[in-house]
Structure 1
Amino acid sequence: MQKLTVKKYQSKDCSVWNEFVLKNKVATFLFDRDFMEYHSDRFQDFSLMIYKEDELIAIMPANIKDSVLYSHQGLTYGGLITEMTSDTSVLIAIYEVLIAFLNQHDIKTIKIKSLPEFYDRTVNNSNKLLTDNFNATVYQRHKVLAIDFSLPFTIHKTKLKNYRKNQSAGFMIQDDNRFDVFWNKVLIPRLKLKHNTKPVHTLEEIELLHQRFPNQIKQYNIFLNDEILAGITIFDKGNIVKSQYGATTERGEKTRALEYLFIYLTYKFKDEGKRFFSMGTVSDKSNKLGYNPGLLRQKEELGCQMYAQEFLLLETK
């Protein structure tokens, strides 16, 4: 095998990095530097690029904190992103040079937030390679809910009954990307009231990201008599679409507006030929189970199946 080398990402590598992301079948726009850099003030970037001679064959979006390398904490998922042709021997060689490089920089621990398994059919094999060959351990496993449109899916009969009944209720769905209305009138107040927390993205950040990625970040709001009742923020990743945020007002809750919007978008994305509609994780640290069983049931009743997202810990020495 030709010699592999590792280098730390620098701003001058932006175009090379983004070209790799654009051509890769697994990488999504979240790995584009224009997305990653929006919160560069919060994280000390330590993204890595792996070369075979002069050819870039893998990247790892990452940041460093307290001498621990994280597959980037500002992203929902990450890990090593390779060419689709990479076989087991190549992956082992890549991890060997990565570990050697990190040891040179006195980094002894890597925490990897892998892709949910439906994003990449080989992700489970890659994780097993790490546990079998590098003594990595799976320290956390999230439940991620998604609809696979290539398979038959069933929406609960009660939800379908309410959806059909509400088709004549006067709901108006708008996709004009009015993030401000949703953030200020629905998302921020509801998160404050229910969980005493804030959205991960500020309004200014999500509007900036939409400007950078207008075809990938979209806002759908549902109104009744000009009053917003609910909204869903969509991240469109090609074959996979993900509901990044979904929230409803108190009146929207009573009228099942958010449920209506989810079912509307499910049929829309199916008709558009999408492969998966991800409704995100149901993790809940405050619950002794580690997840929210009520939220799990709701998403399953919307047609979702459960998939795993593994978090791995790897000691470099």
Structure 2
Amino acid sequence: MENYNVIKYSSSNYDEWNKFVAESKNATFLFNRDFIDYHNNRFKDFSLLVYNKDKLVSILPANIIDNNIYSHQGLSYGGLILSFNSTFQCALASFYVILKFLFEQKINILFLKQLPKIYHLRPSDELDYLFFTLKGESYRKDVSMVIPLNTVFKLSTLRKRQLKKAHSNDLFIKLETDLTTFWNNILTPNLKKKYKTKPTHSLSEINMLREKFPNNILQYNVYYGDELLAGCTVFETDNVIHLQYIATKKEKNIGALDYLIYQLLTITYKDKDYFDFGTSMENEGKKINEGLLNWKQSFGASTLIHDFYKIDTNKFPFLKKIMI
């Protein structure tokens, strides 16, 4: 561990950081600096890079509030990002020097929001063991709904009826380059009316991100003639399709959204490993929206947990006692 050292991220590390993300075993495009930095005005960045001598071996996307560090709160997930061929010892040493560095900076708590395992390109459960060793507190678990696409998934009777209705109408799906119509005419009004909220990303932010990540952020819309009826904003990673935003016109119920999702599941993304509908959580993870949960389950999705851990930085010496 003596050859490991930590530095805070700065713009001079931009290229090195992004290259590492692209070659990691447990990272997605959300960890690219162009994605992290688009909302720098909302979060005070405290991302870290760990080196073994002069070689970058791990990174931690993070922000700071008071004397606490968080897996970057502008991202859906986080954790310690490791190189593709990283060893357990590298993860152990990296986490040791990170906690030691934070402790010396008088930072008391590290809150980590783990990357769900379906996004790993190789097994990467090192931190799960380290949390156990450090007696880390599991302070939150979010319920997400996922379909493994290499298995048979069963649609509910209602979904089958909706698909039959959709097929009896002249619907067509279009891959869009501009999200404006979906955002302004369907998604934003729906969220405002039903949940009194708005999309996490503004229209200008999501269009900017789509331009930066054209192969990862895609918009699929369903039309009946010239009328837009439903849409999905998809975040595509190497092995997972994630539905970031989903919305439909409630007043015209002819199965448009069912038609779209079924086409994505069975045709467009049939060769991916997982189809991630996302979480159904409210009240900071304390409650589950049962209606939303049931809708996702009606496509054959089942439960995946997003883990959140809380670590006292003063426990870093325990990590030196693991190996014998």
2:309 corresponds to which of 301, 308, 312: 312
Q: Which residue of 1 aligns with 2:317?
A: none
Point out where structure 1 has 5 or more consecutive residues left out of the alignment: none
Asked whether the 8 Å contact 1:269–1:277 carries over to 2, the reply is no
Considering only aligned residues, what root-mean-square deviation do their CA atoms show, in Å? 1.8
- The answer on whether the counterparts of 1:141 and 1:308 sit within 8 Å (CA) in structure 2 is yes
The Cα of 1:157 is off from its aligned counterpart by 3.7
Contact 2:162–2:258 at 8 Å: present in 1 too?
no
The alignment status of 1:256 with 2:255, answered yes or no, reads yes
Q: What is the correspondence of 1:39-118 to structure 2 with a 5 Å cutoff?
A: 39-118=39-118
Q: Are 2:290 and 1:293 aligned?
A: yes
Equivalent residues of 1:99, 1:316 under 8 A apart: yes
Quick one: percent identity of the two aligned structures?
37
Greater shift, 276-285 or 292-301, is seen at 292-301
Alignment partner of 2:115: what SS?
Answer: coil
Against the structure 1 CA distance between its residues 127 and 96, is the aligned structure 2 distance closer, same or farther, given a 3 Å change threshold? closer
Provide the TM-score with structure 2 as the length reference. 0.91
- In the other structure, the counterpart of 1:19 is 19
Aligned with 1:260: secondary structure? helix
Q: TM-score, normalised by structure 1?
A: 0.93
Measured in 2, the distance between the counterparts of 1:39 and 1:286 equals 21
Runs of 5+ unmatched residues, structure 2: 315-324
8 A Cα contact 1:47 1:63, kept in partner: yes
Partners of 2:236 and 2:91 lie apart in 1 by: 29
For residue 278 of structure 1, what is the amino acid of its counterpart? D
Letter in 1 for 2:258: E
Kindly state the Cα deviation for residue 300 of structure 1 after the two structures are TM-superposed: 1.3
Contact 2:91 2:127 in 1 (8 A): no
SS of aligned partner of 1:153: coil
Partner of 1:199: 199
User: Equivalent residues in 2 for 1:75-224 (5 A)?
Assistant: 75-120=75-120, 122=123, 125-224=125-224
Question: 1:71-98, CA deviations, whole angstroms, 9 ceiling, x for partnerless residues?
Answer: 1000000010112433333322211111
Quote how far apart the aligned CAs of 1:40 are: 0.9
Matched positions, count: 313
CA contact (8 A) 1:147 1:305 kept: yes
**1:186 to partner: Cα distance:** 0.4
Distance 2:299 2:177 in 1: 24
Give per-residue Cα distances to partners, 1:174-233, cap 9 Å, x unaligned. Answer: 112330000000011111100111100000000100111111111111121311111110
